[in-house]
């Protein structure tokens, strides 16, 4: 993690977002859990079959897909894989302008919105859903699929041990529209420039990011590493049914723009998405306004 040739931080956790699903719910809906959806078209078809009235009272009580729609740092991690797979992006490569005016961005935005408004494969209350609430929906068998990462199985298992998450859940790469892509969760270790103990701090950072300790992070906490000699080759990861899938997607992962305006940009974008979800504005109008506001943010 360098800028102008100087190290500014050491990367730590490096995990991809993948599609988690309940294999028992797949079987109950007549779907093969060994054949998860590979494309966005298949994903939508699966989500429709998984949206069901399971108790026969005439009301839907199980939905195909649960996702974040609230203003939360977790939102962009779950929307990004759809946007990028459609061949779109939030910003231009130089990060000076919004890229949300492209046909691909409009298509991705509409696809995501219509999962809720048209196809109704997402539970009610989408704009209030944060990551933990969506994981709770998966744990309580209200939804069959969610986007998640290394933290998903242990958290879901903690919410509802009776689900037997480590056995019942499986994961697969994010569905593909035009190209394989997903979001990367990246954490980093940073030394304060005002530290009175730079040598000791550097020794600690080297220890924390060493091969043995990075592997221990996975064994203890199921967190994959930015080290290729850990996430790329360690048997503990490659033989794990969840981590092996996440590691396989690292070459297709993208990190969100590391610019100071990013939180404000995502707040603006999420506002427009919510307006489209609740029907205040059409997806086209909501996205167009987000594009204009983001350009104004970047121009300041």
CA neighbor of 12 nearest in space, from 206, 252, 234, 199: 206
The pTM for the full model equals 0.94
125 located within any domain: yes
244 located within any domain: no
* DSSP SS3 for 104: helix
81 located within any domain: yes
- pLDDT (0 to 100) of residue 136: 98
Q: How far is 262 from 164, CA to CA, in rounded Å? A: 38
- pLDDT (0 to 100) of residue 3: 84
Cα torsion angle, 260, 262, 267, 272, sign: positive
- The total domain count for the chain is 1
Q: How far is 294 from 88, CA to CA, in rounded Å? A: 16
120 located within any domain: yes
- Specify the CATH number for the domain of residue 20: 3.40.190.10
Q: Which domain holds residue 146?
A: 14-183+254-295
- pLDDT (0 to 100) of residue 2: 85
69 located within any domain: yes
205 located within any domain: no
CA neighbor of 21 nearest in space, from 158, 148, 164, 206: 148
Q: How far is 195 from 185, CA to CA, in rounded Å? A: 27
* DSSP SS3 for 214: helix
CA neighbor of 141 nearest in space, from 154, 124, 118, 123: 123
Which segments of the chain have a pLDDT < 70? none
């Amino acid at each position: 993690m360098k800028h102008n040739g100087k190290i500014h931080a050491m990367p730590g956790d490096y995990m991809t977002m993948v599609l988690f699903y309940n294999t028992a719910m797949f079987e109950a809906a007549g779907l093969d859990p060994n054949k998860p959806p590979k494309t966005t078209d298949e994903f939508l078809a699966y989500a429709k079959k998984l949206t069901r009235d399971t108790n026969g009272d005439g009301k839907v009580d199980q939905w195909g897909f649960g996702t974040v729609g609230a203003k939360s740092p977790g939102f962009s991690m779950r929307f990004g894989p759809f946007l990028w797979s459609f061949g779109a992006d939030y910003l231009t490569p130089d990060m000076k302008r919004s890229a949300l005016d492209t046909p691909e961005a409009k298509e991705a935005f509409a696809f995501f919105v219509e999962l809720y408004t048209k196809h109704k494969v997402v539970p009610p209350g989408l704009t209030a859903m944060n990551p933990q609430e969506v994981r709770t929906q998966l744990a309580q068998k209200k939804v069959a699929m969610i986007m998640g990462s290394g933290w998903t199985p242990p958290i879901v298992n903690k919410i509802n041990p009776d689900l037997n998450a480590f056995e019942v859940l499986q994961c697969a790469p994010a569905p593909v529209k035009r190209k394989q892509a997903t979001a990367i969760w990246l954490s980093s270790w940073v030394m304060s420039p005002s530290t009175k103990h730079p040598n000791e701090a550097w020794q600690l950072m080297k220890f924390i990011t060493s091969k043995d300790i990075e592997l221990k992070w996975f064994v203890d906490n199921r967190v994959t590493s930015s080290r290729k000699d850990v996430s790329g080759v360690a048997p503990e990861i490659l033989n794990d049914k969840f981590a092996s899938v996440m590691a396989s997607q690292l070459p297709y992962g993208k990190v969100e723009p590391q610019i100071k305006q990013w939180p404000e940009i995502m707040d603006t974008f999420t506002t427009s998405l919510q307006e489209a979800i609740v029907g205040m504005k059409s997806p086209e109008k909501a996205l167009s306004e987000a594009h204009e506001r983001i350009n104004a943010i970047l121009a300041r």
